[in-house]
Amino acid sequence: MPQVTLTVNGKQHTVEVEGRTLLVELLREKLRLTGTHVGCDTSQCGACVVHVNGDSVKSCTTLAVMCDGAHVTTIEGLAAPDGTLHPMQEAFREYHALQCGFCTPGMVMSAVDLVRKNPQGLSEKEIREGLEGNLCRCTGYHNIVKAIAAAQEVMHGRRASVAAAAE
């Protein structure tokens, strides 16, 4: 069986996998990081989004063996080690951008990548388009879009807190 060594949320792991093992299966079943979810089988829903070497990817469409040597961040690794939430997590709570919570980890990870790569700032329309790879069935996206708009202000240092950005 192939072996992969990868760093997940700052911790290195060496794991035996099958060739067909998906990254999401490695995370959920081998490392028991169950915050990353699987919501579809056609790479549509984005519940499985994690960061691989700084880019958001669908871990259900990535083989574990292809991640040898990679740095992976999952939702469990987004907050600071002392538990302080990332501004995106904070904004999702502040703006009620989650209901059942199932799409939330992937949605948050996608949103973080989207904002990081667009330091110029995103309009409401651009945020909506940037979420093409993430489905939410509960919220109607309205509050997710608001949360991301607020979080980008904090992530780019234009505001001190997501609550302040709300005003």
Partner 1 sequence: MNLVTPFEGIGASVKRKEDLRFLSGRGQYTDDINRPGQAYAFILRSPHAHARIAGIETAKAAAMPGVLAVYTSADLAGIGGLPCGWQIHNKDGTPMAEPKHPVLAEGKVRHVGDPVAVVIAETRARARDAAEAVLVDYEVLPAVASMAAAQAPGAPLVHEGVAGNLCYDWHIGDAAQVEAAFAKAAHRVVFETTNNRLVPNAMEPRCAVGDYDTATGEHTLYTTSQNPHVIRLLMGAFVLNIPEAKLRVVAPDVGGGFGSKIYHYAEEAIVTWAAAKLGRPVKWTADRSESFVSDAHGRDHVTRAELALDAEGRFLALKVSTQANMGAYLSTFAPCVPTYLYATLLAGVYTTPAIYAEVKAVFTNTVPVDAYRGAGRPEATFLLERLVDVAAKRCGFDRVELRRKNFISPDAFPYQTPVALQYDSGNYHATLDAALATADWAGFEARRAEAKARGRLRGIGISTYLEACGIAPSAVVGSLGARAGLYEVGTIRVHPTGSVTVLTGAHSHGQGHETTFAQLVADKLGVPIANVEVVHGDTAKVPFGMGTYGSRSLAVGGSAMDKAMDKIIAKGKKIAAHLMEASVEDIEFDRGTFRVAGTDKAKSLTEISLAAYVPHNYPIEELEPGLEETAFYDPKNFTYPGGCHIAEVEIEPETGRVHLVNFTAVDDVGRVINPMIVEGQVQGGVAQGVGQALLEGCVYDADGQLLSGSMLDYTMPRADDLAPVSVATHTTLCTHNPLGVKGCGEVGAIGSPPAVINAVVDALRDWGVEHIEMPATPQKIWSIIHGKSC
Partner 2 sequence: MYDFAYHKPATLADAVKLLAADPDAKAVSGGHTLIPALKLRLNKPSALVDLSGIAEMKGIRREGGALVIGALTRHAEVAESAEVKAAIPALAYLAAHIGDVQVRNRGTLGGSVSNNDPAADYPAAVLGLGATVHTSKRKIAADDFFLGMFTTALEPDEILVAISFPIPEKAGYAKMKNPASRYVMAGAFVSKGPMGVRVAINGAGPCVFRQSAMEAALAAQWSPEAVAGIKQDADGLNSDIHGSAEYRAHLVTVMAKRAVAAAG
Q: Work out the burial of residue 166: count CB atoms within 10 Å of its CB; fewer than 13 is exposed, 13-18 middle, 19 or more buried.
A: middle
Q: Rule CB under 8 A: is residue 32 a binding residue for partner 1?
A: yes
* CA distance linking residue 159 with residue 33, whole number of Å: 32
77-96: which residues touch partner 1 (CB under 8 A)? Answer: 78-79, 85, 89, 92-94, 96
Q: Which of 76, 116, 118, 161 binds partner 1 (CB under 8 A)?
A: 76
57 binds, among partner 1, partner 2, none (CB under 5 to 8 A by kind): partner 2
**Listing from the earlier edge strand, what are the strands of the sheet with 49-52?**
11-16, 3-8, 71-73, 49-52, 55-58
7 binds partner 1 (CB under 8 A): no
Q: What is the DSSP letter of 63?
A: B
Q: Does 110 bind partner 2 (CB under 8 A)?
A: yes
Decide whether 20 or 125 has the Cβ nearer to partner 2: 20
Cα-Cα-Cα-Cα dihedral sign, residues 115, 128, 22, 26: positive
When binding is defined by CB under 8 A, the residue of 8, 31, 47, 165 that contacts partner 1 is 47
